[in-house]
């Protein structure tokens, strides 16, 4: 092709060369070892796409069907790979379509660099075609954002963007580049990765005295309890965490974002915290004497009513973000730092113990929960299928080795409660923002980020219809994503709340769905729908062993509720089993 004859400049030129701002963007991505971009072209970002045209051998650009899909895919990619997700979008509507994903990535600490096109600098502020003040729109939902109006800024700004996105507590960064800056030729002197910004401290020097105080508290504790969150994975400290847990012998429970950092079947993994978490971890939060919080932020869905949360316990909080320490729960010992550094220091000072009696208490509560909830959910005797039994069958077939991506709602709670996770970075869900429509695009991104793993997207019938256009992305790229729709013909979580707290006034939760298998078929994706238990296992097997993507719809019982449940405004120890 004629357009491909243009020689590509070397990525790190020794001497100054004249290139366009758009090429500088691409060279920066290569220097940052980016391999995949999720994006959608448009007027104001065309020069970048033009430059990209010469680098399609080095950069895999995934054309999504909607910018929201693009950014959720970038999130899925970042979450499965541990790398920075990169997203392209054009100005105006392209940029505003990123906002939900930015908010999601901000609250769930996902590293992203989003590059948006912008109108020519001389048109800024004039209501030009597809002009939107995206900097001000995204300021509350980005870790950092910046508008480039001169091409010579691009190398340094992108270096800064990647550094900020991935260091400290990760988060999304948006770089808005005006079209003139993309087109402008400038003297490029090479790309310098950013390692330091004087007005940004991603992590502190660890203060040893706090490690000592924390260890003393832990060593004296009779009923210590570990709560861990996604921070363990973001800090790549899974091994350090496991060593700490095993030496200390302390029972450990996870927030939804932390699932998988310690394998599900680890003997000290006592389950999930929060509103739909496990019985024991919630009740015993209000009985433990020392609470060790690691890389988690005491979200209201975890704590329930704050003034009745763990009042008897002394809290040790390990976090890289100092504003999280003492934000919601008063802290006895603040351990500000990267848990990759603080955990080994703490492990060294804690005594090797075996809290069998205390662990036994968790098991006792677990037995009660099995009897009251889990048995019927995973092995129902009713005619209709439950969400739990689908997840249970899936566990058996994947052995817990798959990446499970979930959407938002009842199926999310069920999948996160019951999915067996053997490996870290295996649970991808929208935890903080609760973004319906997250799962399908995130699963696409997750597969690009971890190509050797099976990716199963567990989605409700409501959430699937929010971003189902991304089936087109699957069709075009051939990416292998297993789509498991748990269809209860309701917006189930809202319906559950209406049943429990609004006298069964089912206001607009009765949602009709298209024939999902036919929809998939329209996109060239194989699919199946099952409504009988005897078909379930073989259908799941077919989905998993199918070469390429597959959509499996499972019709589940309509009005099941997710239990246990900590009703809003109640203490965690007031958790209801039914």
Q: Which residues are catalytic?
A: 67, 129-130, 179, 493
> How many CA within 13 A on the CB side of residue 326?
8
User: Measured from the CB atom, is 139 or 531 closer to another protein?
Assistant: 139
Residue 121 found at the interface with another protein (CB under 8 A): no
**With CB under 8 A as the contact rule, which of the stretches 86-94, 98-106, 190-198, 387-395 interacts with another protein?**
190-198
Nearer to another protein, 321 or 542 (CB): 321
The least CB distance from residue 485 to another protein, in Å, is: 36
- Name the region of 425 (left: φ>0; alpha: ψ -120 to 50; beta: rest): left
Nearest Cα residue to 160 out of 94, 234, 59, 84? 84
Token reading at 281: 């971890």
| Residue 246 beta carbon to another protein: minimum distance, rounded to whole angstroms | 29
Residue recorded with tokens 């003040």: 133
CA distance 545 to 480: 11
Chain CA centroid to CA 535, Å: 32
Binding mask 330-349 for another protein (x = CB under 8 A): ----x-x-------------
The interface with another protein within residues 229-268 (CB under 8 A) comprises none
Comparison of 144 and 523: residue with beta carbon closer to another protein: 144
Minimal distance in Å, beta carbon 294 to another protein? 17
Q: Which of 196, 505, 547, 578 binds another protein (CB under 8 A)?
A: 196
Cα–Cα distance, 327 to 331 (Å, whole number): 9
Q: How far apart are CA 81 and CA 13, in angstroms?
A: 29
Task: Please select the residue that binds another protein; options are 145, 269, 398, 498, rule is CB under 8 A.
Answer: 145
- Give residues with Cβ within 8 angstroms of 272, minimum separation 6: 253, 254, 255, 256, 259, 278, 281, 416, 417
Contact region with another protein (CB under 8 A), list: 203-211, 402-410, 509-517, 553-561: 203-211
The distance of closest approach from Cβ of residue 89 to another protein in the complex, given in angstroms and rounded to an integer, is 19
* Sole binder of another protein in the list 61, 65, 72, 143 (CB under 8 A): 143
**ω into residue 564 within 30 of 0, thus cis?**
yes
Q: Shortest Cβ distance from residue 117 to another protein (Å)?
A: 18
DSSP 8-class letter at 250: -
- Angle, helices 154-166 vs 21-31, to 10°: value is 40
Q: Which is nearer to another protein, 207 or 537 (CB)?
A: 207
Does 197 participate in binding another protein (rule CB under 8 A)? yes
Burial-class residue 332 by CB neighbours within 10 Å (0-12, 13-18, 19+): middle
Q: Does 199 bind another protein (CB under 8 A)?
A: yes
Residue with tokens 């739909």: 276
Q: Which of 88, 144, 186, 225 binds another protein (CB under 8 A)?
A: 144
Query: Is the Cβ of residue 327 or residue 453 nearer to another protein in the bound state?
Result: 327
Candidate residues 195, 505, 547, 578; the one interacting with another protein per rule CB under 8 A: 195
3-state secondary structure of 155: helix
Q: Which is nearer to another protein, 212 or 570 (CB)?
A: 212
164 touching another protein, by CB under 8 A = yes
Contact 289, 223 (CB under 8 A): yes
Q: Report d(CA 293, CA 253) in Å as an integer.
A: 10
- In the list 204, 360, 514, 522, the residue contacting another protein (rule: CB under 8 A) is 204
Q: How far is the CB of 278 from another protein (least distance, A)?
A: 30
Tokens of 58: 């080095």
Those residues whose C-beta lies under 8 Å from the C-beta of residue 15, and which sit 6 or more positions away, are none
Per the DSSP assignment, residues forming a β-bridge with 553 are 485, 529
Judged by CB under 8 A, which stretch of 201-209, 254-262, 411-419, 528-536 contacts another protein? Answer: 201-209
Stretch that binds another protein, among 143-151, 237-245, 347-355, 425-433 (CB under 8 A): 143-151
Determine which residue in the list 53, 55, 120, 146 makes contact with another protein, applying CB under 8 A.
146
Least distance (Å) between residue 205 CB and another protein: 5
Query: Which of positions 306-325 make contact with another protein (CB under 8 A)?
Result: 321-323, 325
What CA–CA distance (Å, rounded) separates 341 from 171? 20
**Of 196 and 547, CB closest to another protein:** 196
Minimum distance, C-beta of residue 13 to another protein, in the bound complex (Å): 25
Residue 115 DSSP SS3: strand
CA dist 454 and 450 (Å) reads: 8
Tokens of 529: 């729908």
Give contact residues for another protein (rule: CB under 8 A): 135-136, 139-140, 143-147, 164, 195-201, 204-205, 207, 210, 321-323, 325, 327, 334, 336
């Amino acid at each position: 092709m004629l357009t491909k004859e243009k020689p590509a400049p070397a990525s790190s030129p020794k001497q100054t060369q004249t290139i366009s701002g758009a090429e500088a963007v691409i060279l920066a991505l290569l220097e940052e070892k980016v391999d995949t971009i999720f994006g959608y072209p448009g007027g104001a970002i065309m020069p970048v796409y033009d430059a990209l045209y010469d680098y399609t051998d080095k950069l895999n650009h995934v054309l999504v069907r909607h910018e929201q899909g693009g950014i959720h895919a970038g999130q899925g990619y970042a979450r499965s790979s541990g790398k920075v997700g990169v997203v392209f979008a054009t100005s105006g509507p392209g940029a505003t379509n990123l906002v939900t994903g930015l908010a999601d990535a901000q609250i769930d600490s996902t590293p992203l660099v989003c590059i948006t096109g912008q109108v020519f600098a001389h048109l800024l502020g004039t209501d030009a075609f597809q002009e939107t003040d995206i900097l001000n729109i995204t300021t509350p939902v980005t870790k950092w954002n910046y508008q480039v109006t001169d091409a010579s800024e691009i190398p340094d700004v992108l270096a800064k963007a990647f550094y900020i996105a991935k260091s400290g507590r990760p988060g999304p960064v948006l770089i808005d580049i005006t079209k003139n800056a993309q087109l402008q030729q400038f003297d490029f002197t090479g790309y310098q990765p950013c390692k330091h910004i004087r007005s940004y401290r991603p992590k502190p020097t660890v203060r040893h005295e706090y490690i000592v105080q924390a260890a003393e508290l832990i060593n004296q504790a009779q009923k210590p309890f570990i709560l861990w969150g996604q921070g363990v994975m973001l800090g790549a400290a899974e091994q350090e965490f496991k060593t700490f847990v095993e030496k200390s012998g302390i029972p450990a429970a996870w927030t939804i974002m932390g699932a998988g950092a310690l394998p599900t079947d680890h003997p000290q993994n006592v389950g999930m915290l929060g509103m739909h978490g496990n019985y024991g971890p919630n009740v015993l939060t209000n009985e433990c004497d020392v609470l060790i919080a690691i890389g988690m932020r005491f979200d209201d869905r975890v704590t329930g009513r704050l003034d009745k949360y763990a009042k008897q316990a002394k809290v040790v909080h390990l976090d890289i973000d100092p504003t999280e320490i003492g934000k919601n729960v008063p802290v006895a010992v603040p351990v500000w730092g990267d848990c990759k550094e603080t955990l080994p220091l703490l492990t060294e000072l804690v005594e090797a113990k075996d809290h069998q009696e205390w662990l036994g208490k968790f098991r006792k509560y677990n037995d009660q929960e099995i009897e009251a909830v889990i048995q019927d959910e995973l092995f129902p005797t009713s005619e209709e299928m439950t969400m739990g039994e689908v997840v249970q069958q899936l566990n058996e077939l994947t052995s817990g080795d798959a990446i499970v991506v979930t959407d938002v709602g009842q199926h999310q709670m069920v999948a996160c409660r019951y999915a067996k996770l053997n490996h870290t970075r295996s649970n991808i869900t929208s935890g903080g923002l609760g973004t319906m429509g997250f799962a399908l695009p995130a699963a696409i991104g997750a597969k690009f980020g971890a190509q050797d793993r099976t990716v199963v997207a567990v989605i409700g019938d409501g959430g699937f219809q929010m971003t189902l256009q991304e089936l087109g992305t699957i069709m075009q790229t051939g990416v292998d994503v297993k789509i498991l729709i748990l269809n209860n013909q309701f917006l189930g979580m809202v319906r559950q709340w209406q049943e429990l707290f609004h006298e069964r006034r089912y206001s607009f939760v009765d949602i009709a769905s298209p024939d999902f298998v036919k929809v998939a078929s329209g996109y060239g994706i194989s699919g199946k729908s099952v409504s009988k238990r005897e078909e379930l296992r073989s259908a799941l097997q077919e989905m998993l062993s199918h070469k390429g993507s597959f959509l499996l719809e499972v019709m589940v019982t309509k009005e099941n509720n997710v239990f246990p449940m900590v009703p809003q405004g109640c203490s965690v120890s007031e958790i209801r089993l039914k």
